[in-house]
Structure 1
C-alpha cells in the first residue's frame, strides 16, 4: 500500500506538487517546532508542511493543543526528518510523518544526538532485537519517530517511513474521530479501504 498516494492521490515522487498546494503553509523548525506550527496556522491554513525534524516537547504540545482546539483540527506533516512527541496531551490533529529521502544516521552521527532525547533514544537498553537480524545499535540508527508519555490523538498517525523504525514508548488511547479525519483529508480526496489490506484477527 502506497500511503502517500492513498492520502494525496499522487505518487511519492511527486511530493513537491502536494507541498505547493494552497492548503499547506510551510514551516522550517530551526527552534521550537510546536511554537512555529502554532504561529503559522490560522483558520484558512490548518494544513502544515514541516520541512525537516520536529521535536514536540510539552511546551510545544500545549501551544498546538490550544491552537488545534480553536481551529477545529490540524493536519501536521513532517517531511524528511526525525519526529518526536513528549507529554500527556490530547491533540485534535492528524499527523503524517513522511520520509522519502532521509537517513537519521549519516557520517557516523545519529540525528538524535543533537536533541534533548539523545540519552533516551540512543540507549542500547531500549532495543531488544527479535530475530537476531539487527543489533540494538542497528535498530537505534533506524529510529525516525519516537513518542513517549501518555498521548490521546483524535486524528491519528500516518507513519510513511519505509525501512525505518517508529518507536512508541508510551501509553495511548487510539480512539480516532472519523469526522475530523474526513474533514482534514477532504482537500486531497477521500481515503478508501483496499479490500484484503487489513485483517483484524
Structure 2
C-alpha cells in the first residue's frame, strides 16, 4: 500500500476528492479527511472541544462502516488549529493523541501520523498549517496499481502544491506548524480563502 495525500483550500474540493476516490473503488476505511470546521476557538468551549476529541476518536470506526467516509465525519479539536471535522484512520490516530496527550502532542499526532504514513515531514507541516488556515487534507492508502489514478483524482480536485504553498507561507515569516499559536479567526480564514482563489 502507498499513501497519496492532498491539501485543498476548500472543503468542497476535499469532499469532491473523497467522493471521486470512493467512486474509483478505494474503500472508505482507506481514506481520511481532516478539514477546518469553520468555527474558532472563541466559539468552542473547552468542554465541547473535549467532547469533540472523544467523538473524533471513534470516527475511524464509523467511517469504515461501508456507508461512505463523509457520513462518518466527527468533530475534534487540534491545538493551534481549533475545531476540525474529520473521519478515517488518520483522524482516529490523531484523535487518540489529542485525547490523551500533553501539550504539543496533538501536533505530533497529526504530523506524526502523516509522516508515519509516508508523507515527508516538510509537507506534513504545510498540510497542518493549511488546515489551520481553513483548508482540508485528504489522505488515502491505495494499492500500488491505483497510485497514479488516485494522484490524478486529487489533482483534478484542485490539489494545492505543498512546495508552492510553503513558499507562500514563508513569505509571511512562517517556518513550520506551531500548535502553540492561536487558531485563525473567521476573518483570517476568509482572507486566506480569498488569497488562494486569486492564485488559481
TM-score band, normalised by shorter chain: under 0.3
Question: TM-score, normalised to structure 1's length?
Answer: 0.27
Query: Which of the pair is proportionally richer in strand?
Result: 1
Question: TM-score, normalised to structure 2's length?
Answer: 0.28
| Larger RCO, structures 1/2 (Cα 8 Å, 6+ apart) | 2
Query: Which of the pair is proportionally richer in helix?
Result: 2
